[in-house]
Amino acid sequence: MKRIPLIIALFLTAHLSFSQKNWFSVYTDSASLVQDGGTITKAFIADIKKIKPGITLDVTTILNTTPYLIYFDGQGAVKTANLPIWTQVIPPQQQFFYEVAGGEAAGKAAFGLFFNGFYLPHELGHGVEEAIRGNLKGSYEEEYFANTVAMLWWRKQGREKELKACYDAAKTMFAKLPNPVPAGMTIEAYFGKNYEQASQNPYVYGYMQFKQFIQIYEDKQLPDFNGFMQKYFAEHQKK
């Protein structure tokens, strides 16, 4: 009687492993992108529900390339993780990647590492926060939480090699981005006040995101994924 669940578990593990082999790289086939993203989304949600069994977290992964590139949308009846594909990214944003990453090949690779890679569980982290705290308004702190969730979940998957590649790319790109925060203002206050405008400017938003990635990657005091989420859920009991 216990063989069927075991076989299913082994199949899902193998499927996730196969999907992750292609992840963190630029996809050219949209169907494969959505399929692999869906598998990763299901695995992430399964991990969350093991820690918080009663949480309502159901997300559909779809292809939807917009200037936001990748994002979680919890407004509709169906909550979605929206994935971008490189061939549909608008030319000004492609040029941004070429510029800050150091050329066309490096720019495409950086896009794959982050937007067909690292940021999917980041967006699902926003989904977790929405399920626990309600509608989110956008803030530096919310982004830091989502980036931490993504970092720890990928470490749980054993993707240190890919995270190191993201780290190296983030440092290269961050070094080329000017600090948008006015003198005398904290970065938290700046992005809290200007979040919507900042999210539409890749130079400003990229500064925040890559700065956070570097800080979190270098933080040696972080717990593992399960420990981090258990503490989060204990501190944010939904009424």
**Model pLDDT for residues 22-48, shown as the tens digit of each residue:** 899 999 999 999 999 999 999 999 999
pLDDT value for 16: 57
**Do the beta carbons of residue 147 and residue 170 sit within 8 Å?**
no
User: Is it the case that residue 238 has pLDDT exceeding 70?
Assistant: no
d(CA 184, CA 187): 10
**Do the beta carbons of residue 55 and residue 77 sit within 8 Å?**
no
Give the pLDDT confidence of 46-57 residue by residue, as tens digits: 999 999 999 999
Sheet (strand 60-63) strand order? 60-63, 80-83, 71-73
pLDDT band at 19 (very low <50, low <70, confident <90, very high): low
Least Cα distance to 136 among 126, 144, 146 occurs for: 126
Give the pLDDT confidence of 181-208 residue by residue, as tens digits: 999 999 999 999 999 999 999 999 999 9
pLDDT value for 1: 43
Give the pLDDT confidence of 71-128 residue by residue, as tens digits: 999 998 999 999 999 999 999 999 999 999 999 999 999 999 999 999 999 999 999 9
Phi, psi of 63 (to 5 degrees): -85, 125
Give the pTM. 0.91
pLDDT value for 236: 87
pLDDT value for 135: 79
**Do the beta carbons of residue 149 and residue 121 sit within 8 Å?**
yes
User: Is it the case that residue 63 has pLDDT exceeding 70?
Assistant: yes
